[in-house]
Amino acid sequence: MGFTVIERLLNRLPGRWEKVHQLESFCYYGRLGGGKLILQMPLTYMNASGVAVAALLRREEIVPPEMLVVYDDMDLEPGRLRLRRGGSAGGHHGVESIMAGLQGDGSFARLRLGIGHGGDTIDHVLSKFTPEEQPVADAAVETAVKALQMALRRGLSAAMNEFNGWSYAAEQAESEARTEEI
């Protein structure tokens, strides 16, 4: 889901974006608000993504607190978002790899998209969404893009206040309650 979020974000950001295949990644370079912005999509296995991330940070002289990682998380219910700065890997092997590549530094921000628990972990993470799950995934991706846009415009704290804990289920319940009031 992280790549989908990045692709949709790229389609909404102004300006030109240069796509470069480097450091076992697709990297998109552009400018936003007078500053440089790099969006990275590691092409390694998720469990080895820290190699690509650490290489980019070293090359571009970026420190972990200036980075935000977007990833799907089985420990969150499907359609829930969590946006925060810092913390542990929480058992997520991709985040463990990134932290290992950064010598244990977990001070980067992260946007987690809930996918819930399925049967076999690997099959669940790599499988396509069912027709029933697809609207939940689409809404989560769309909301994640909005959260990133706000973080880029107004800062991480503003985006956290607006979107942290957002869930598709709560959104649907509110929508149904508003419909019943009419």
* Residues 109, 97: Cα–Cα separation, whole Å: 15
Write the DSSP symbol of residue 167.
B
* Residues 82, 122: Cα–Cα separation, whole Å: 22
107-134 tens-digit pLDDT: 999 999 999 876 555 443 445 778 888 8
CATH classification (class only), 2-181: alpha beta
pLDDT value at position 13? 94
DSSP string, 121-162: HHHHHHSPPPTTTHHHHHHHHHHHHHHHHHHHHH-HHHHHHH
pLDDT value at position 107? 96
pLDDT value at position 125? 45
Which is more confident, 49 or 171?
49
Residue 163's nearest CA partner among 81, 101, 53 is 81
Tell me the average pLDDT of the chain: 90
Average pLDDT over residues 147-168: 94
Average pLDDT over residues 75-86: 94
DSSP string, 72-106: EETTS-TTBEEEEE----TT-HHHHHHHHHTTT--
Specify the pTM. 0.87
